[in-house]
Amino acid sequence: MMKRWSLVLGSILGLLVLSACGRVGVDTVSVEMGRADFIADDLLFDVRTGPDGRSFEGCRFTRGWARTGADGKWAVGRSAEVELLAAPRAHRLWIECRPSHQLDGPQIVTVVADGEIAGEFRPEPRGFKWYQVELAQSKAAGTRHIEFLFSQVRPVQRIAGGKDTRPLAVMVRRFALTRGPKKPKKRDWSPPVVRTPEGLRVRKSGRLYLNFRSGEGVEGIEVFLRSGLHTGNSIPVTLMHPESKSKLAEGVFDSCLEGSQTVNLDAGGLEGGFQLVISVRSGGLVFERIEARIRRGSPGTPSKERRQRGMTGARPDIVVIVLDATRADHAGSTYGYSRETMPIIDQLADDAMVFSRVFAQAPYTTCSVPTMFTGLSWGVHGVVEGRDRLPDGEETLAESLQAAGYQTLGITATPNNSERLGMAQGFDEFVQLWEGADWRTSIDPMFAVKRLQARLEQGLDEKPLFLMLHLVPPHAPYTPPGSFRLWSDPEYNGPCDGTNGYLKTIRGHQETVSPADLNELIGLYDGNLRHSDAAVGRILEALESAGRLDRAVVVVTSDHGEAFFEHGHLDHNTTVYDEMLRVPLIVLLPDFLQAQLVDSSRLISLEDLTPTLLGLAGLLSPSRSTGVNFVTGPRRTEILHRTATGAGVFGFRSDPWKLMTSRDGRLDRLYDLEADPKETTNVIFEHPGLVSWLADRWDRAEDSLPPPMDVVEVSTTDDEKAMLRELGYIDS
């Protein structure tokens, strides 16, 4: 299995990084090792063992399984599937399992490997035992798709009573996929790599992945290894850059020689980091240390600028319009959609900066809005649940602008962006539309327009203005007024009415949704988009009438996207696939504040919004900001993602890759977003070295975040509970 060891060699292995004596133009540099991973040639997977951090263990439960319990994992239904990472010639599948109780006859398990029947076995009714099925051999490493077909199932309620109707087949405790004919023994389950005073001792055959980071140009590397078994095998040592899939250099270690040996690798001025891959043939290898040589005077990799100066000159008004749950690929012709869902915003975009690769860090409002309006990653601001309040010590965009002399006005239609959650910090006025109005009125975007118009008619100060408007549609319920139901089928007579009551019945039950139902649902969502677009038009008209539009930076964006079963899920909250994360971002600048040429395809996180707007106002970002000014700042290279706490899935994006965990925390999915933008083909078992490298970058990205402040839990008011109920967040 592939396990994780995060080692800092300086403290664990006594690393000394030295330049060769008398070498001209070469200096000393400290190279820190981050994550170390090992993939054994014989896959051993204990279902009962929890993940060690974000471990990658070569086994994925893809369909037909219950959650893991103390004794293992139940297969539920007549079939269940797993994917296994197989080494070359690993073809003996071992399963330790027992059948469900009180079956009507013997349990027969048929094993289908890569679409072909490989064999069958009959688990005995008492206790866990090992069973073996021989698969067709493969000379190459790769994924083996295994399906188990069960002759018998037994509903839980017929075994133990109660209301649980799940049909149980067998409980699995351990898997193994080996090359040899012998059943795995107890000692085989010991850790394949251990720390010793000499270094990392590798006990089994497989591949060891070691990840290093350096801000200097590395000219050469000496790898110090020692053999403990003296098998006479030649052990390849490869210098890699995994993201480019480039093999930079390769050397060989002769395991028949005694004592410490060095393998010299030419790095050619490599900057940023590298990976060593050591292919161990029979165990007994000890990795001691590395020594790296760098160019003298190498400029290295510049550190990220945390505090960015903005443009100089007159300070503009700043208007941010958040259209809740707007997915980018439905945001009108500007984003390539075939339906005219946002004609007014399309017109605005003609004169604006339009960014195509903008992503929420989290697919839900409670977490995403604090990220947008503090410039902080969710790992810093800590607001991840509906009762979490942004700490008063965190500085919001409104507070920064207020301190710089701005008049600040917020209007919100959702309790997930509210004073209760700390989002009113820095606002002179913060209007919560559900206060004093029924829920239907309060989520109508035209009601927000009326409240804004009334406030503008009262007159504003001569100060520059910061205006934040958060509109609920397109968010569910998908019940636009009749004039905006442009894509509903008049002949449709099915159950879909777009209400949260209907959405509740189909959430988690995709099989009940017909193509006609889904078309109607999407048509109603698009009608919501058109409705919110009309409201944006009214907002722009109101600002123009008040004489504030020509001097304003206008931002139209969203807090997260929306899903329609692309990956089996509806609406948002639950996945880190792009239909829930990718949002539009349109930024219109006033004539007096024209930006430099900006790459509209650069990677942007919503945490970048605050530092960018502060920069456009000529202000510094708060020192704790983790965002990047996407107009004048360095290019972003990665984004941390998470779902709502109930789903428990996390992700790491680094072009063109996205790495995800499963709900239990194991590294589970990898997508090549360039080749597979719809994220349909999981390639995690095809690139184990890349997985190790990205996981190391993920660790470092999290470690570099400022420490979080303490989040305070707050209660929900009765009015907010009523609103959240109507928005589909709570049942009662």
**How far apart, in Å, do the first and last CA atoms of the chain sit?**
45
**Distances from the Cα of 467 to the Cα of 17, 363, 373, 426, 612, angstroms:** 54, 24, 12, 12, 16
250 pLDDT above the threshold of 80: yes
Please state at what angle helix 515-545 crosses helix 343-350, rounded to 10 degrees. 50
CATH number of the domain bearing residue 373: 3.40.720.10
In this structure, are 243 and 268 located in the same domain?
Answer: yes
What is the per-residue pLDDT across 540-575, written as a single tens digit (0 to 9) for each?
A: 999 999 999 999 999 999 999 999 999 999 999 999
Task: Tell me which of 163, 183, 203 is where a domain ends.
Answer: 183
Q: Is residue 538 part of a domain?
A: yes
One-letter amino acid for residue 553 of the chain: V
What's the whole-number mean pLDDT along residues 529-538?
A: 99
Q: Who has greater pLDDT, 597 or 620?
A: 620
In this structure, are 173 and 193 located in the same domain?
Answer: no
Query: Which positions ≥6 away from 603 have C-beta within 8 Å?
Result: 357, 359, 635, 636, 637, 639, 653, 655
Quick one: pLDDT band at residue 309, thresholds 50, 70, 90? very low
Give percent of the chain above pLDDT 70.
92
**Distances from the Cα of 60 to the Cα of 63, 129, 207, angstroms:** 9, 22, 20
User: Do 142 and 177 form a contact (C-beta atoms < 8 A)?
Assistant: no
In this structure, are 496 and 642 located in the same domain?
Answer: yes
What is the per-residue pLDDT across 453-480, written as a single tens digit (0 to 9) for each?
A: 999 999 999 999 999 999 999 999 999 9
Residue (of 231, 294, 222) closest to 260 by Cα position: 222
Q: Is residue 165 part of a domain?
A: yes
525 pLDDT above the threshold of 90: yes
User: Do 98 and 129 form a contact (C-beta atoms < 8 A)?
Assistant: yes
> Any idea which residue has 């351990």 for tokens?
174
pLDDT at res. 726:
75
Task: Tell me which of 157, 183, 209 is where a domain ends.
Answer: 183
pLDDT at res. 296:
56
In this structure, are 202 and 106 located in the same domain?
Answer: no
Task: Tell me which of 183, 210, 229 is where a domain ends.
Answer: 183
Q: Cβ atoms within 10 A of the Cβ of 224, count?
A: 18
In this structure, are 277 and 340 located in the same domain?
Answer: no
305 pLDDT above the threshold of 60: no
312 pLDDT above the threshold of 80: no
304 pLDDT above the threshold of 70: no
Kindly write down the DSSP assignment for every residue of 366-389, as one continuous string: HHHHHHHHH---HHHH---STTEE
Return the structure tokens found at 562.
Answer: 């929306």
Q: Is residue 731 part of a domain?
A: no
What is the per-residue pLDDT across 79-89, written as a single tens digit (0 to 9) for each?
A: 999 999 999 99
Q: Is residue 709 part of a domain?
A: yes
Q: Is residue 301 part of a domain?
A: no
DSSP summary character for residue 179: S
Q: What angle do CA 448, 324, 515 make, to 5 degrees?
A: 120
In this structure, are 164 and 195 located in the same domain?
Answer: no
35 pLDDT above the threshold of 70: yes
Instruction: Convert 93-122 to b/e letters by CB count within 10 Å (16 or more is b).
Output: bbbbbbbbeebeeebebbbbbeeeebeebe
In this structure, are 140 and 11 located in the same domain?
Answer: no
In this structure, are 263 and 373 located in the same domain?
Answer: no
595 pLDDT above the threshold of 70: no
DSSP summary character for residue 419: T
Q: Is residue 311 part of a domain?
A: no
What's the whole-number mean pLDDT along residues 187-192?
A: 90
What's the whole-number mean pLDDT along residues 119-145?
A: 92
In this structure, are 389 and 284 located in the same domain?
Answer: no
Q: Who has greater pLDDT, 724 or 589?
A: 589
Quick one: pLDDT band at residue 20, thresholds 50, 70, 90? very low
Domain region containing 503: 317-726
DSSP summary character for residue 610: H
Q: Is residue 382 part of a domain?
A: yes
**Distances from the Cα of 29 to the Cα of 17, 270, 410, angstroms:** 6, 13, 51
User: Do 367 and 374 form a contact (C-beta atoms < 8 A)?
Assistant: no
* pTM more than 0.85: yes
What is the per-residue pLDDT across 397-441, written as a single tens digit (0 to 9) for each?
A: 999 999 999 999 999 999 999 999 999 999 999 999 999 999 999
The domain total for the chain is: 3
**Distances from the Cα of 255 to the Cα of 39, 200, 259, 379, angstroms:** 20, 16, 10, 45
What's the whole-number mean pLDDT along residues 662-679?
A: 95
- Please state, in angstroms and rounded to a whole number, the distance separating the CA atoms of residues 271 and 109: 52
4 pLDDT above the threshold of 70: no
- Please state, in angstroms and rounded to a whole number, the distance separating the CA atoms of residues 550 and 553: 9
6 pLDDT above the threshold of 80: no
Strands 429-432 and 407-412, bridge-based pairing: parallel
Q: Is residue 90 part of a domain?
A: yes
User: Among 65-69, 281-285, 617-621, where is mean pLDDT lowest?
Assistant: 281-285
Query: Which positions ≥6 away from 143 have C-beta within 8 Å?
Result: 83, 84, 85, 86, 685, 686
What's the whole-number mean pLDDT along residues 634-643?
A: 96
Quick one: pLDDT band at residue 508, thresholds 50, 70, 90? confident
In this structure, are 453 and 565 located in the same domain?
Answer: yes
- Please state, in angstroms and rounded to a whole number, the distance separating the CA atoms of residues 519 and 509: 16
Please state at what angle helix 515-545 crosses helix 445-457, rounded to 10 degrees. 0
Query: Which positions ≥6 away from 102 have C-beta within 8 Å?
Result: 154, 158, 159
Average model confidence (pLDDT) across the chain:
90
Helical spans, DSSP H, in 242-364: 343-350
Instruction: Using DSSP, state whether 501 is helix, strand or coil.
Output: helix
Kindly write down the DSSP assignment for every residue of 295-324, as one continuous string: ETT---PPPPPSS-----SSPPEEEEEEET
CATH number of the domain bearing residue 287: 2.60.120.680
In this structure, are 606 and 654 located in the same domain?
Answer: yes
In this structure, are 166 and 27 located in the same domain?
Answer: no
What is the per-residue pLDDT across 346-400, written as a single tens digit (0 to 9) for each?
A: 999 999 999 999 999 999 999 999 999 999 999 999 999 989 999 999 999 999 9
**Distances from the Cα of 138 to the Cα of 134, 229, 515, angstroms:** 12, 28, 40
